[in-house]
Amino acid sequence: MLLNLATLALAATSAFAHSAYPGVCTGAPADVSSVSSAGSMGILLTSTAYAVAPPTGFTGYSAGTPVTVQVTGPGSFTGLLLYAAVGIANTTHLGTWTAPSGYQVMDAFNCASYGAGATLGHSSSAAKTLPASFTWTPPTGSGNVSFYGILVTASSGFEVLSSSSATVGTGTGTGTGTTTTTTAAAGATATGGSAAVGAPAPGLGGFLVGLAAVVGSMF
């Protein structure tokens, strides 16, 4: 009985090892695997139920002018990592995030080297509702940029998110039009609105397949 109680205590500690922050700075396979090995995010979901959307009518930006990024999907979630970059494993995250209640920028959790204020994460494991909106303040022109993330559901595991690659300017964009929402599915094509959204980030399909294999081998 004592052994069983000790085992349960260890499992509980592992499951909530990063309940106050994501524990990783990117959605790259190595980062996801490091947390998955502790069991704190559950299993990798291969569904496309959740999405991260570029700003409404996004054709470019004016440096320093805030834009809204929305995460959508069914039900509730407990954890989130969110950042903008030219690639999912890129070590330079672009722009800065304004952290609403329940969230925090990840500078104090080994993510400052990716860019000050450039990585957003949850600050508690409390259930959070969807859709969820976040404010991203862009830098000066940095070419094409995508929004990436990891969403941990309230019960079924986690999903890697990726928007389509959106063209970033240095003073264009009106912020009007129809929101373009792109799911985490590899090969998905964004449609609708006036957003200058191109093909999904190169190599995302291979990344998701490889990630599923890496994480799956741990369970």
Domain range for 26 is: 18-211
Q: What does the pLDDT read at residue 167?
A: 57
Q: What does the pLDDT read at residue 175?
A: 36
Q: What does the pLDDT read at residue 108?
A: 96
DSSP codes, the chain: -HHHHHHHHHHHHHHTTTTTS-S-SS-SHHHHHHHHTTTSS-SBP-----EEEPPTT-S---TT--EEEEEE-SSEEEEEEEEEESSTT-S---SEEE--TTEEESGGGTTGGG-TT-EEEESS-S-EESSEEEEEE--S--SEEEEEEEEEESSS-EEEEEPEEEE--SS---S-SPPP-EES-TT----SSS--EEEEPTTHHHHHHHHHHHHHTT-
Q: What does the pLDDT read at residue 140?
A: 81
Q: What does the pLDDT read at residue 55?
A: 65
Q: What does the pLDDT read at residue 216?
A: 35
pTM of the model: 0.70
Q: Is residue 9 part of a domain?
A: no
Q: What does the pLDDT read at residue 172?
A: 42
Q: What does the pLDDT read at residue 187?
A: 29
| CATH number, domain containing residue 188 | 2.60.40.4060
Q: What does the pLDDT read at residue 38?
A: 66
Q: Is residue 10 part of a domain?
A: no
Q: What does the pLDDT read at residue 44?
A: 83
Q: Is residue 8 part of a domain?
A: no
What string of pLDDT tens digits covers the 219 residues of the chain?
333 333 223 233 333 345 899 889 999 999 888 767 766 677 888 788 899 987 667 777 778 888 889 999 998 999 999 999 999 999 999 999 999 999 999 999 999 999 999 999 999 989 999 999 999 998 887 667 899 999 999 888 899 999 877 655 554 433 332 233 333 333 233 322 222 323 333 334 333 333 333 333 333
Q: What does the pLDDT read at residue 85?
A: 94
Q: Is residue 183 part of a domain?
A: yes
Q: Is residue 42 part of a domain?
A: yes
Count of structural domains, the chain: 1
